[in-house]
Amino acid sequence: MDENSAVYVAFDTSKLSNAVAVAESGRSGEVRYLGEIENTPEATSKLVRRLSKKHARLTFCYEAGPTGYGLYRQLTKLGHECIVVAPSLIPQKPGNRVKTNRLDALSLAKQLRAGELTAVWVPDDHHEAVRDLSRARQAAKESERRKRQQVSALLLRQGRVYAGKTSWGKAHMTWLASQKLEHLEQRLALEEMLHGVRQEGERIKRLERAIAEAVPRWSLGGSVTALMALRGIDLIAATTLMAELGDLTRFGSARELMGYLGLVPSESSTGDRVWRGGITKTGNRRARRMLVESAWTYRYPPRVGAAKLRRVAAAPPEVRDIAWKAQVRLTARYRALMRAGKPDVVAITAVARELAGFVWAVARAASPPSLAPAE
């Protein structure tokens, strides 16, 4: 084995097998395809042992996807460097219309050697578990929303429209229970749909209780408590943001976080022509959506209600100052945009972008960079 030799290894992963390619170091180093191996820890360990006998340093990569981070964790435990690549940021040749496992693996190996790949942040096991719990709750909310729409659509076809202001509250549920449709089949359909809505509501409550129990045991639980001092961010919103974004101290600035969330304007400029469009919507859509939903609360004058007071009191003094500054600034920002004639959704998106900056500041105050674990 050459003590100075290095090789770059790329996997094109799938459910049952992984295509493997290697690139020797140096601009003119050989790039070759090794074939496919089973997607099992045993097969991966065998490949690593074989390559380690020939090369002193191994660097691995594969695309982030449905196969998760198990391969990354195995390779790093074996003492080798590995990056999980952001698929949307992989350089692509515009005219390339041929895609195979072999070609993908060879291309990844070349780009890894050239340093052209962008790595995603990889959570630890417990962080990923909390993220799965948070996403299960989001999936339940989406399922509940669809089931509610089905109930409303059925009644609308029968000319039954609820006259109240707020849907799916106690009064609305009483009204739904009082509806007597003409045909037995329709009554059965309505009852089954309402039963599905109730089941989803119960599932959401169970998952929210589980989240509340999990947060105190989580390494980012302190950041969740701190974020809850911000207006519009409760336990679920704070947990979702931290579960999706991870350790926010890894972002060097608030603008970097805004860009990561896709809350910055797109741009297509050339020469003297400057054109800026809507937000890019890149990055994590779950976190972006949660921030936009939270931003709607800044339409109202700054205040701390009785329910919010306890959450604010639980945060450190520095965080409380940031939270109040956010209320004052973002409320004024919303009003200024509305006076300028901006549509509601545009104004709220702008508020959400600035709210991301305050989230970054709160997370840094709750977990200073000097104390944050290295990536």
In order of their start, the domains of the chain are 2-114 (3.30.420.240), 125-217 (no CATH), 221-368 (no CATH)
pLDDT at 371: 40
How far is residue 143 from each of residues 83, 114, 140, 155, 210, measured CA to CA in Å? Answer: 34, 44, 5, 19, 19
Is it the case that residue 74 has pLDDT exceeding 60? yes
Average pLDDT over residues 95-110: 93
- pLDDT range class, residue 296, cuts 50, 70, 90: very high
Query: Which of 200, 118, 109, 186 lies closest to 155 in space, CA to CA?
Result: 186
Report the distance separating Cα 314 and Cα 295, nearest Å: 22
Say whether 36 sits in a helix, a strand or coil: strand
Report the distance separating Cα 199 and Cα 135, nearest Å: 18
Query: Which of 21, 1, 3, 2 lies closest to 11 in space, CA to CA?
Result: 21
Average pLDDT over residues 278-291: 93
Say whether 266 sits in a helix, a strand or coil: strand
pLDDT at 3: 53
Query: Which residues face 23 on adjacent strands?
Result: 8, 31
pLDDT at 27: 80
Count of C-beta atoms within a 10 Å radius of residue 78: 15
Query: Could you give the angle at which helices 184-214 and 235-245 cross, rounded to 10 degrees?
Result: 70
Report the distance separating Cα 61 and Cα 90, nearest Å: 12
- pLDDT range class, residue 131, cuts 50, 70, 90: very high
CA atoms within 13 Å, Cβ hemisphere of 185: 0
- pLDDT range class, residue 273, cuts 50, 70, 90: confident
Question: Which pTM does this prediction carry?
Answer: 0.90
Is it the case that residue 304 has pLDDT exceeding 50? yes
**Do β-strands 2-13 and 55-63 pair in parallel, antiparallel, or remain unpaired?**
parallel
Q: Buried b vs exposed e over 125-140: b needs ≥16 C-beta within 10 Å?
A: eebeebbebbebbbeb
Q: Which regions of the chain does DSSP assign to beta strands (E)?
A: 2-13, 17-24, 31-38, 55-63, 81-85, 265-267, 276-279
pLDDT at 274: 83
**Of the ranges 91-95, 111-115, 314-318, which one carries the lowest mean pLDDT score?**
91-95
Separation of CA 8 from chain center? 29
- pLDDT range class, residue 83, cuts 50, 70, 90: very high
Report the distance separating Cα 198 and Cα 214, nearest Å: 25
pLDDT at 374: 38
